[in-house]
Amino acid sequence: MKKPMKKVSILTILLVSVFLMASCGDKTISFGGGADTGPAYGDAIIIGSIGDASNLIPMLASDSASHDVTGFIYSGLVKYDKDYNIVGDLASSWEISEDNLTFTFHLRDDVKWQDGKPFTSADVMFTYRLMIDENTPTAYAGKYLLVKEARAPDPYTFIVTYSEPLAPALISWGSLQSLPKHILEGADITKSELARKPMGTGPYKFVEWKTGEKIVLTSNHDYFEGRPYIDRIIYRIIPDTATMFLELKAGGVDWMGLSPIQYERQTDDESFKKSFKKYKYLADGYAYLGFNLDNPKFKDKRVRKAISYAIDKQEIIDVVLLGLGEIATGPYKPGTWQYNPDVERYDYDPEKARKLFKEAGWEDTDGDGLLDREGVPFEFTIITNQGNELRAKSAEIIQKRLNEVGITVKIRIIEWAAFLSEFVRPRNYEAMILGWNILQDPDLFNVWHSSKTGPDELNHVNFRNDEVDKLLEEGRRVFDQEKRKKYYFRIQEILADEAPYVFLYVPDSLPVVHARFHGIEPAPAGISYNFTEWYVPEGMMKYTNLK
Amino acid sequence: MARYTLKRLIMMIPILFGITIISFAVIHLAPGEPTDLATSLNPDVTPEAKEKMRKLYGLDKPVHVQYFNWIKRIVVLDFGNSFAPDRRPVINKIKETIPITISINILSILLIMAVAIPIGIYSATHQNSFFDKAATVFVFVGFAVPTFWLALLMMRWFGIQLAWLPISGVKSVMYDYLSPVGKAWDVTKHLLMPVVLSAFGGLAGLSRYMRSNMLEVIRQDYITTARAKGLPERVVIYKHAMRNALMPVITVLGLSVPGLIGGSVIFESIFSIYGMGRLFYASVLSRDYPVVMGILVIGAVLTLIGNLLADVSYALTDPRIRKG
């Protein structure tokens, strides 16, 4: 009979296809491998980026996507080497005067702009003047405004004098990426074509930018440190991390950052290991739970310390980061010279927490399992920004642990712009989970000094401590590393004792690069510090018909 | 007919003004300003610098003055400059994203029609058959399944396991090096999954609508008459019944005109397609008022035109309405 046959055949086809789809394991487009025949010029690397750049003039953009791209096109006077020591970039050497107020930079004389014109100190002077010009809408002028005088006595010398000694000044001349005077002079920087078509002195030249899709760079054969081996860089903008991961496995992306779960659980099959190299090192940032210090609940430091004891930070790392991170004890990265390993620690200890709560007046007097004081139960709201799953999950774990010691915690996730304008700026919050980047210079004046508690400033927990203020003011004037260390070690001791934040974790950075790229050497500064020395051996090149 | 159309066209103007006023008011109600994102939590920005930035964007003026300044420019079709760091003209940003969004939407609608209409007709003529039931399940699954989840499954299946199709984007990285035929094939391969998935979600609406229209039509007296006249079933269904059942579908098409410029930000993010969905969402998040208003105005104009087209085409195709 016709009908039952049709039924059976359609159903069978459906079932078989579902079964096939579900049963196949994941396949990575395999890489053949081969012998490393040494550095060769050629090939392209495709870098996956979640966001598009916004403006390719370094001082005008504040997003990381723009800075990633301009980092390849422009150069500063100095830069960091693999161990985070300051070395020369456009400057071959420099001297600092006895009184630490004057920096004399000797610029390289073999640098050309990518359009062929020679680079001189006039370009540095021009860029510096642009930076401090009040008509330039830049977010980075702060340190350069402290310069008393700048001179360029000859084409290869640039001298700056400060009125006060400023230790973080030296590396700030690395962040001042030099712009071409011969292009920008007399023009309005906000209307310049350079925003979409950059031109610098760096290892890569701009080719094209298809908005929302890709940015293409090609190697600068006249780069003053030598022509880079990899001929092309292509930034592919892929907003979804799941899609980017699939593209990686299909060969459409060569370099991306993995999430903890991708690193731990989804990249261990044989074909993946053959085709890709994974790296793991501490990232330059940390997450924290910050208390609004003007809120009466958190004014007593015993309460803050108790909350820190009640939170199991290792648990957060194990659950949220799958173990890929370290507990943070302060605002610096473990392993760096400024990191103080001996500060007070808050290991998970709910008993100690309860004791401290009792001392501060919080006890469970009515037996309902919740702490209360003068009849008021202890509850507060933690806010964090939308779009960061790690922070949201951390909040949930904190909520659970605090509930166990008798505190009711509510969580609110708020869209970023509203988060800033309605909660952070007017200090209209009780506690928040956020993160900070960790910069290499230990100066944290802007985050912890009591003068930086204005609505748009960084000390948004309103931390005010006289001793820390003094240490911050003096620490940034001292140049000798051993002497500076003492100031910042003491600051970390105080921050650990006062606990304005519960420092949570420093996550791991988890980049993955296609196996055909050689020359990658993980170091304290990560893996991209020597990008111009990465290469693909001749026989392994993938993109060979680049015009 | 002509008088009716003219009246409608003239009415569009005040309606459009009303839409712009409400849109403008609503987006300014959202907390936060475009300058906040650049200046908040920024150690180097002084209050003076922030005020200066606000002045630059005209944000220091009262809301109704800002609206007036904006409407003054819009009536001469000047959409202004974006508030994003690149400060590019709004119209350029929209021009970059509209073509791909419209293309995918048109292809999707064509695919939906090509599949849903036959499904609807066959389901109606074979009501309660196995096909009817299976088709119902199929289209409702398409409607209910979250597209982003299905998209990832499809990407894994077709992009990695079978390696037949590219995973995301509209063009390959090496697109510029392809021949013209290669380029056309490249774009086709890239658009296959997005268009099919987008259509899969939309099948339910049209096919069910078509089915119920057909069911109603084939019970009409004139269909019985046609059969009584001895016409072959094929002619009865595809010439007489279908034509009458299709009429409401045309109005539905007219109403989908404003949807042509609408992109789903989730869908576009998964497929890395830089379309109107992503542009609109990113602009809202960064309070980029000129871009948001520009997109809303275009959407409003298209909605009004689409409505008008739908009504007019219904009048044109249905003689009963035309002749009163």
Q: Write down the mean pLDDT value for chain B.
A: 87
Judged by CB atoms closer than 8 Å, whether chains meet at B32 and A422 is answered as yes
A67 to chain B, any CB pair closer than 8 A? The answer is no
One-letter amino acid at B308 equals L
Please tell me whether residue B291 adopts helix, strand or coil conformation: helix
**Which alpha helices (DSSP H) does chain B contain, by range?**
2-29, 34-39, 47-56, 63-74, 90-125, 130-144, 147-154, 180-218, 221-228, 233-235, 242-255, 265-270, 276-285, 289-317, 319-322
Q: What is the pLDDT of residues A346-367, one digit of tens each?
A: 999 999 999 999 999 999 888 8
Which of the following CATH numbers is that of domain B99-285: 1.10.1740.10, 3.30.2140.20, 1.10.3720.10, 1.10.645.10?
1.10.3720.10
Minimum-distance CB partner of B38 among A28, A139, A190: A139
Judged by CB atoms closer than 8 Å, whether chains meet at A62 and B38 is answered as yes
Q: How far apart are CA A207 and CA A230, in angstroms?
A: 15
Q: Is the pLDDT of residue B165 over 80?
A: yes
From chain A residues 231-250, the ones with a CB under 8 A of any chain B CB are 234, 236-240, 242-243, 246-247, 249-250
Total beta-carbon pairs less than 8 A apart between chain A and chain B: 158
Q: Count CB neighbours of A186 within 10 A.
A: 6
* Stated pTM of the model: 0.88
Which of B92, B97, B168, B278 to substitute to test the interface with A, most A CBs within 10 Å?
B168
Parts of chain A with a pLDDT under 50: 1-2, 5, 22-25
Judged by CB atoms closer than 8 Å, whether chains meet at A243 and B43 is answered as no
Average of per-residue pLDDT across B61-75 = 90
Judged by CB atoms closer than 8 Å, whether chains meet at A213 and B157 is answered as no
A420 to chain B, any CB pair closer than 8 A? The answer is yes
Minimum-distance CB partner of B167 among A246, A415, A421: A246
Average of per-residue pLDDT across B274-278 = 92
Minimum-distance CB partner of B159 among A240, A246, A545: A246
Partnered with residue A255 across adjacent β-strands are: A47, A513
pLDDT of residue A382: 97
Domains in chain B: boundaries = 2-75, 99-285
ipTM of the complex: 0.86
One-letter amino acid at A263 equals Y
Q: What is the pLDDT of residues B184-195, one digit of tens each?
A: 999 999 999 999
Reported as a pLDDT band with limits 50, 70 and 90, residue B175 is: confident
CB A462 within 8 Å of CB A454: no
A61 to chain B, any CB pair closer than 8 A? The answer is yes
What letter would DSSP give residue B158? I
